[in-house]
Amino acid sequence: MTVPVFDTLKRPLRDLRISVTDRCNFRCTYCMPKEIFSRDFQFLDRELLLSFEEIERLVRLSRELGVHKVRITGGEPLLRRDLEQLIASLKALGGLELTMTTNGALLARKAQALKDAGLDRISVSLDSLDDTVFRAMNDVDFPVAKVLEGINVAHEVGLGPVKINAVVKQGVNDHTVVEMARHFKDTGHIIRFIEFMDVGHTNGWRLDDVVPAADIVAMINAEMPIEPIDPNYRGEVARRYRYKDGSGEIGLIASVTQPFCGDCTRGRISADGALYTCLFAVKGFDLRALLRSTASDEEIVKTLSEIWAARDDRYSEIRSSETVDLPKVEMSYIGG
Residue type, 18: I
Nearer to ligand SF4 by Cβ, of 99 and 255: the residue is: 255
CB 122, CB 99: distance < 8 Å: yes
Nearer to ligand SF4 by Cβ, of 56 and 313: the residue is: 313
CB 333, CB 19: distance < 8 Å: yes
| Nearest distance in Å: CB 308, ligand SF4 | 12
CB 185, CB 248: distance < 8 Å: yes
CB 223, CB 182: distance < 8 Å: yes
Nearer to ligand SF4 by Cβ, of 66 and 248: the residue is: 66
CA distances 94 to 50, 163, 198, Å, are 21, 23, 36
Burial of residue 335, with CB atoms counted within 10 A of its CB: 0-12 exposed, 13-18 middle, 19 or more buried: buried
| Nearest distance in Å: CB 11, ligand SF4 | 8
Q: What 3-state class would DSSP assign to 118?
A: coil
Nearer to ligand SF4 by Cβ, of 142 and 276: the residue is: 276
| Nearest distance in Å: CB 200, ligand SF4 | 13
Report DSSP letters for 166-209, one per residue: EEEBTTTTGGGHHHHHHHHTTSS-EEEEEE----TTTS---GGG
Nearer to ligand SF4 by Cβ, of 142 and 260: the residue is: 260
Q: Which of 117, 37, 47, 40 is nearest to 76 (CA)?
A: 37
Sign of CA dihedral 290, 292, 294, 297: positive
* Residues within the interface to ligand SF4 (CB under 6 A): 255, 260-261, 264, 266, 278-280, 313-316
Strand order in the sheet with 226-229: 226-229, 239-243, 249-253, 190-195, 163-168, 121-125, 97-102, 69-73, 15-19, 266-269, 274-276, 285-286
CA distances 112 to 108, 150, 153, 158, 164, Å, are 8, 11, 8, 9, 19
| Nearest distance in Å: CB 80, ligand SF4 | 23
Distance (Å, rounded) from C-alpha 308 to C-alpha 21? 24
Nearer to ligand SF4 by Cβ, of 2 and 8: the residue is: 8
Nearer to ligand SF4 by Cβ, of 152 and 323: the residue is: 323
Nearer to ligand SF4 by Cβ, of 279 and 301: the residue is: 279
Nearer to ligand SF4 by Cβ, of 89 and 165: the residue is: 165
